[in-house]
Amino acid sequence: MSKVETDTRAVPDSTMPALPAIPGAPVRSRWSGRGPIARVTASGFARIAGISASLVGTQLLTSVLGLVFWTLAARRFVPAEVGIAGAGIALMLLLGSLGSLGLGTVLIARLPSTEPRDRRVLVRTCVAAAATAGTVLGLIVPAVAVHVLGAVALAPIAGTVWPLLGLAAGTGLTSAVIVLDQAVLTIGVGSLQLERNVTASTVKIVALVALSLAGAESGMTILLAWTIGNAVSLPVVAWRTRGGRALAVGRRWVEPTALRGLGKQALSHHALNVSIQAALQLLPVLVTVLVSTQQNARFNAALMLAGFVFALPYAVSVGLFAAARGNESEVLDRMRLTIPFGLAVSAAADLVIFPLAEPMLHIFGASYAAGGAVLLRLVVLAGLPFVVKDHFIALRRVQGRTTEALAITTGFLVVELAAAAIGAEFAGAVGLCVGWLAVLAVEGVALSLPLLAAERHRRGGTPPKVSQQPGTAAGTATDAPADSGPAPVEPTPWFRRNLAGPTLLLMALGVLVMASAANAGRAGVQGALPQAGWVAGLVLVFLPAALRVLAAATPSAERVVVAVGLGLMLQFSRLLLNPTIFAFHDELIHAETLRQIEATGHLFTANPLLPVSSYYPGLEVVTDGVQALTGLPSFAAAAGTLLLARLIIVLAILGLTALITSSLRAGAVAVLVYLTNPQLLFFNSQYSYQTLALPLAVLSLYFVATRRQRRRSALVLPLASTAAVAVTHHLTALLLVVAYAVWVALVLVRGNRTPSGASAGNVADRHHSVRGDRIALAVLTLWGALVFGLTVLVPGNPLRSYLEAILGSSTADLAGLSEGHQTKALFADTAGSGPAPWERVLLIAAVLLATASLLVALGFVRSNWRRARPLALLLGLVALLYPVIPGGHLTRATAEVGDRAAGFVFLGTAVVLGAWWWQRRRRAWTGALFALACTVLFLGDVVLGAGPTAGQLPGPYQVSADARSVDAANLAAAHWLAVGVPRGGVVYGDRTSGLLAAAYGDQTTVLHVSTGIDASRLLLAPTFTSQDRALIRAAKLDYLIVDQRLATGLPHQQFYIESGEFGGGDRTAPVTTGALAKFGSVPGVERLYDNGSLVIYDVRGLR
């Protein structure tokens, strides 16, 4: 007996299409209704009951034998070994089911029309193919699970060669019998399927007892007995079908060519079957891996008993499908009885099992009864949502909408497993059941809606609403009942429907995968697993969106929704890294400005971390407003503000591109391309002024381009948004003014040129429009310059020196580069770590792809120059600046400039590629290829902008590595400063500790950028000297924060504290422990705090 038989829900669904209809049974679309009996009979329930009884009978016999097998196993082996075997067999069944490749379904469909002489070779070929696939899966998946993914709990069955080979053989055999069981249904040799199953089950029991009596004690013995049963049952089939040999002609034993053309036919039903079965087969594996083998023994026992409850409603739904003969109306008619019947059976079973769970489990043993009763009570509750799910699938099968059903069941499967895993993390096997059930309950409610909708439409006599296919009449039904009159219309292909919901759900699941990877990194999981998970999550978020946005058949509304959704989800994903605190360098700077606004109620206060930032407080003003109006904490208000900023930029790019190309579709493609820019995932999604200024700048361009000319209020919005940019970020404001200036110049140069073929009226309109543009843009250029100038003139604004410092260092580095002095290694940071080889490949591919886009940009510029379209021309010219981004990475100082430029340059690239793509002739494969290219561009650009994946994820402390340097130790020190010393003290520390002291410790941090004092020797010089004392006096320093871990490595981000620090430049060795400990022996200095990693000195005695 296979688990297929003991777990009664796990009967392969692919038998459904071939289930025989009961001859002579009436087929009626409406029941006449004269009393309950008549209604039941008229509804066809008798036919369903007949088929269901047949199925249940077979199931029952084999299930009872399965119960005997597991009872014996439970009583003869220790629970841990039973748990191992349960997990192994569940894995074997799942992989066996996958390995069957849906060939059983194909045989059901093909065998009746196959020549008798060819039947045996077709069956043998399918069985052999399934066995091979199953064996390969049985070898690879468990080995990867144990050795790569670290599922050590599965080591007893797959950790060494012989158990692994045994598992692979068993899996191959399982695949073979799954295919065979379905084939014999069609061969029609009596009750051959039942005979084979009974034989297998009986042999398993005998083998188990024999092996147990022989002294075998391990879980592998149970697995072996299981496999022996399957193996012995095969000759039975061969013997019972021997009559067919005479018909076979002399051909080979297997004929691979017989499989040709079967793939597509099998795929849809098979995938649906697998998605239905997978949860019940994977849950035992999850319990084993995440909880324990002992718990899995109990869980397995509970699942087995619950299988009896699931069997009847399941069989009824199968019977429903088989009896309907493809008539949707029949299915809907009969569901009115089968759904209440299934729910009633499940509810009754729940009522019986709740009080009797413990005694029922006693058949397995006392320990099962004690530990498994709660599990059984929980698992059996799944019967209720299963009734709805089974009926939903039956309906979709009969409607021919299996792909849609597959997408939905697969999506829910992933959520079920994720919820179960989360539950297991928190509360073991019980938590796993609760998590799984919670999702199942939601699933039950969600799937009942289409059933209700279908029933409503049936009653209303109208076909269900479907999406409209281009070129077809509105409201064309794709799922019209067979008996509803005219010939059925060809259904709308699934890819033409609006799949925004499933696509976004898939992307959300990608975010969930990213969360799991980030959590694994945070928990210190070593190896490639967290990185692989992170990249897989990114792909899962980006690729489905790219495929749908770029597919020609995608409805326009879906394209827009998915593109906007992608932007928002990528912004949301940032919360997974540091979900409750600001942790990145720039975030801490702006958090300090925000804190000062909250504390003082006023803007333009001094920010010691980056003085220039407090003169551009637009971001903090919005956050403060959101916080004040909602009462949310600062961090939540900031996260909300950033989501708003992301929404604005994607909508503005969409609108701007749509304006230039007259196509929202091109706009959606432009959004997709923009989201691939190197700074999007990290830098331009952090709490920093540019993150808001950039969207406002694009919004300003949009407002200018869409203003209503000849109206007095036409410039109100552009003027206001330009002013907002000017008080939000200096560089963005400057670039916006430059953009206005170039735009007006292009209008002056090309604006009056009239396109050939234009009518006189058009020419007059155009001249008027150009005149309006000239005036408006001139006004905006002056206004932008004026407002920006005013911000620069605010007393104390250090913008000039700030920009001069950047310009100076960049010029020096470039001059050095021209003389052959390389200041930056290409694929390494200053600590010597860099991207892995695969990441370098992605990075180079991304740069090559983006460079290739320059050719498109050149064509775009040329075309729009000829057509005299100044705005398009402006954006095309911006796209041509792309070489600045990778080129900037050649030197240390310009790397940041190049990175920051990405957010601006990709605006042009996005519009250019959006317009280009939409002018091309689009085929399905070119769309897929472009989507793949965009995904590669995205992944490569993430590495270019944010460094190696290992560094992007949370993890153990690293020296001067932005968010990776923020951990519990330095946060604890900062929080102690807030309560342990007076507020507003003057402190000095390394790059991270200094930031945290200001942002979370309410202290004033000394930095060269704000005070002009370079106090870095206090931390980095090897000995204490009079210079240190002088520095402490000059800076009026109160406290010195020393992170002793600085001595463990070189800084990842160029310096320990700030640019130009003591011993910086060409540092080749970490700061010494002596340098960090020197204040411990200086008289007059007290050490007030020590947490093992950080110490805080009171240095006021030296002032």
Partner 1 sequence: MSTHVGTGSHPSRSVLRDLAWRVVLVALAALAVVIGLPAWIRTPLSAAAAIMTALFFARRYGRRRLLDTLLTVIGGGVVVLILLGLLLNLSPQGLSGASWAIGVGVIEVTVLAVLAVFRPTAAAPARTRRSLPVGPAVWAMAIAAVLSGALVWSVVSFGSNQIEPLALAAKPAGDSVVLTVTSGRAEGPFELDLVTVAGRTVLARAIRVRPGAGRSTSVTLPAATRGLVQLVPVGSSRSVRELILDSTSAGRATR
Q: Show contacts with partner 1 in window 953-992 (CB under 8 A).
A: 954, 967-969, 971-972, 976, 980
Residue 343 Cβ vs partner 1, minimum distance, rounded to whole Å: 20
Should residue 1042 be labelled a site residue for partner 1 when binding is judged by CB under 8 A?
no
Complex with partner 1: residue 625 or 1065, whichever CB lies closer: 625
- Asked if 508 is part of the footprint of partner 1 (rule: CB under 8 A), the reply reads yes
Among 134-142, 279-287, 642-650, 1049-1057, the segment contacting partner 1 (CB under 8 A) = 642-650
Distance CA 967, CA 251 (A): 70
Using CB under 8 A, which of 141, 178, 696, 785 touches partner 1?
696
Cβ atoms of residues 693 and 618 within 8 Å: yes
Query: In whole angstroms, how close is the CB of 275 to partner 1 at the nearest point?
Result: 16
* Amino acid found at 791: T
Q: Pick from 348, 763, 815, 1088: which binds partner 1 (CB under 8 A)? A: 1088
Burial class (CB in 10 A: 0-12, 13-18, 19+), 238: exposed
| Interaction between residue 511 and partner 1 (CB under 8 A) | yes
DSSP assignment of 117-182 equals HHHHHHHHHHHHHHHHHHHHHHHHHHHHHHHTS--GGGHHHHSSHHHHHHHHHHHHHHHHHHHHHH
Backbone angles phi, psi at 1096, to 5 degrees: -125, 125
Q: Which of 586, 624, 813, 1028 binds partner 1 (CB under 8 A)?
A: 624
Q: Which of 178, 291, 504, 895 lies at the binding interface for partner 1 (CB under 8 A)?
A: 504
DSSP 8-class letter at 517: H
Helix (DSSP H) and strand (DSSP E) numbers for the chain: 40, 5
Strand-pairing partners, residue 1005, are 987
**C-beta of 419: minimal distance to partner 1 in Å?**
7
DSSP assignment string, 468-498: PPTTS-TT--SS--TTSSSPPPPPPPGGGS-
Footprint of partner 1 on 715-754 (CB under 8 A):
717, 720-721, 723-724, 727-728
Q: Which of 411, 444, 544, 940 binds partner 1 (CB under 8 A)?
A: 411
| Cα–Cα distances in angstroms (integers) from residue 515 to residues 91, 145, 510, 531, 626, in the given order | 26, 20, 9, 12, 27
The whole-angstrom separation of Cα 712 and Cα 722 is 18
Site map for partner 1, 431-470, x if CB under 8 A?
Answer: -----------x---x--x---x-----------------
Q: Pick between residue 521 and residue 940 the one whose CB is nearest to partner 1.
A: 521
Q: What is the 3-state secondary structure (H, E, C) of 30-98?
A: CCCCCCHHHHHHHCCHHHHHHHHHHHHHHHHHHHHHHHHHHHHHHHHCCHHHHHHHHHHHHHHHHHHHH
Binding mask 586-605 for partner 1 (x = CB under 8 A): -----------x--xxxxx-
- Considering the rule CB under 8 A, would residue 10 count as an interface residue with partner 1? no
Q: Which of residues 553-582 bind partner 1 (CB under 8 A)?
A: 560, 569, 572, 575-580
Of the pair 145, 727, the CB lying nearest partner 1 is at: 727
Q: Can residue 544 be called a binding residue for partner 1 (CB under 8 A)?
A: no
Q: With CB under 8 A as the contact rule, which of the stretches 297-305, 700-708, 745-753, 1067-1075 interacts with partner 1?
A: 700-708
- 534 contacts partner 1 (rule: CB under 8 A): no
Alpha helices in 662-798 (DSSP H): 664-674, 689-705, 716-726, 730-750, 760-793
The answer to whether 1103 contacts partner 1 (rule: CB under 8 A) is yes
The CB density around residue 557, as the number of other CB atoms within 10 Å, is 12
CB of 186 to partner 1, least distance (A): 38
Task: Report the nearest approach of partner 1 to the CB of residue 126 (Å).
Answer: 37
Interface residue with partner 1 among 152, 370, 523, 786 (CB under 8 A) is: 523
Q: From the CB of 373, what's the least distance to partner 1, in Å? A: 28
1092 binds partner 1 (CB under 8 A): yes
Q: Exactly one of 248, 644, 741, 849 binds partner 1 (CB under 8 A); which one?
A: 644
Q: Which candidate, 690, 514, 682, 729, places its Cα nearest to that of 584?
A: 682
> In DSSP terms, which residues pair with 1095 in a beta bridge?
1042, 1090
CB-wise, 554 or 721, nearer to partner 1?
721
Shortest spacing between CB 624 and partner 1, in angstroms: 5
| 514 is a contact residue toward partner 1 (CB under 8 A) | yes
- Token pair belonging to 520: 């694994």
Q: Which stretch binds partner 1 (CB under 8 A): 43-51, 148-156, 714-722, 998-1006?
A: 714-722
Identity of the residue, 576 or 944, whose beta carbon is nearer to partner 1 in the bound complex: 576
Q: How far apart are CA 8 and CA 1017, in angstroms?
A: 74
The CA distance from 997 to 983, in Å, is 11
Q: Name the minimum Å distance from CB 579 to partner 1.
A: 4
Question: Least distance (Å) from partner 1 to the CB of residue 711?
Answer: 13
Q: Which of 621, 669, 907, 950 binds partner 1 (CB under 8 A)?
A: 621
Task: Report d(CA 183, CA 103) in Å as an integer.
Answer: 9
In the complex, what is the shortest distance from the CB of residue 1090 to partner 1, in angstroms, rounded to a whole number? 5
**Main-chain phi, psi angles of 526, to 5 degrees:** -90, 170
Stretch of 68-76, 83-91, 504-512, 859-867 lying at the interface with partner 1 (CB under 8 A): 504-512
- d(CA 791, CA 693) in angstroms, rounded, equals 15
* Residue 195 structure tokens: 């005979």
The string of DSSP codes covering 213-227 is HTT--SHHHHHHHHH
Q: How far is the CB of 758 from partner 1 (least distance, A)?
A: 26
C-alpha span between 229 and 940 (Å, rounded): 52
Structure tokens given for 1023: 């000995």
Taking CB under 8 A as the criterion, the residue among 339, 418, 563, 612 binding partner 1 is: 418
For residues 467 and 926, which CB has a smaller minimum distance to partner 1 in the complex? 467
Phi, psi of 488, deg, nearest 5: -60, 140
